[in-house]
Structure 1
Amino acid sequence: MNGTGQQQDQRLEQAILELLDGRAPTATICPSDAARAVYEGDDDGWRALMEPARRAARRLVAAGEVEITQGGHRVDPDEVRGPIRMRRLR
């Protein structure tokens, strides 16, 4: 991976953790929240960061920082399809 991609990945991971830190312990966020926080434009270019944000969430799950939920229930990040939410690991 090139330096720019690695920096983007680190910014997405940091954005996820910072967004969660600013909310109630049980609150969830969407990957789009992190994508919007990292994207520096004012158009919908953040959409290109959606899959990188989902990958960042999976890395944070592996690191024991967050869990991925769907329909309010914890799900396996390698199995889930469709819309997801993230919250701090309980």
Structure 2
Amino acid sequence: MKYCSDACRADARRAPEHDLEGEIGRLLDARARDSSICPSDVARAVAPDDWRPLMEPVRRAARRLVARGEVEITQGGSVVDPSTAKGPIRIRRPRT
């Protein structure tokens, strides 16, 4: 497996990122089609007692899903470019 940085490599030891992508999908599937989730929802589902270190890996997993067209990242209800989004984000299924 290749990593984008030393941080990615370190985080990969904590929780495989494909597991995070899967958890994003599971949480979205469990909600209404027009609902969104917070990255912390995913982190807490994977590691309830130590979720904070997973926040950036969850954001990376969401960015990969955006690149594949599977989700959108929003801020204030508007779709944003995941590579430039700063601050709180939400993850949702694409709207048509």
**TM, length-normalised to structure 1:** 0.88
**TM, length-normalised to structure 2:** 0.83
1:69 to 69, 74, 93: 74
For structure 2, the residue ranges without an aligned partner over 5 or more in a row are 4-8
Shift of 1:38: 1.1
For structure 1, the residue ranges without an aligned partner over 5 or more in a row are none
Equivalent AA in structure 2 for residue 56 of structure 1 = A
RMSD of aligned residue pairs (Cα, Å): 1.7
Aligned pair 1:49/2:54, yes or no?
yes
SS at match of 2:72: strand
**Percent of matched pairs sharing the same residue:** 60
Q: Which residue of 2 aligns with 1:30?
A: 38
**Cα deviations across residues 6-29 of structure 1 (Å, max 9, x unaligned)?**
862011000000000011111000
Aligned pair 1:5/2:28, yes or no?
no
The aligned length equals 86
Runs of 4+ residues deviating >4 angstroms: none
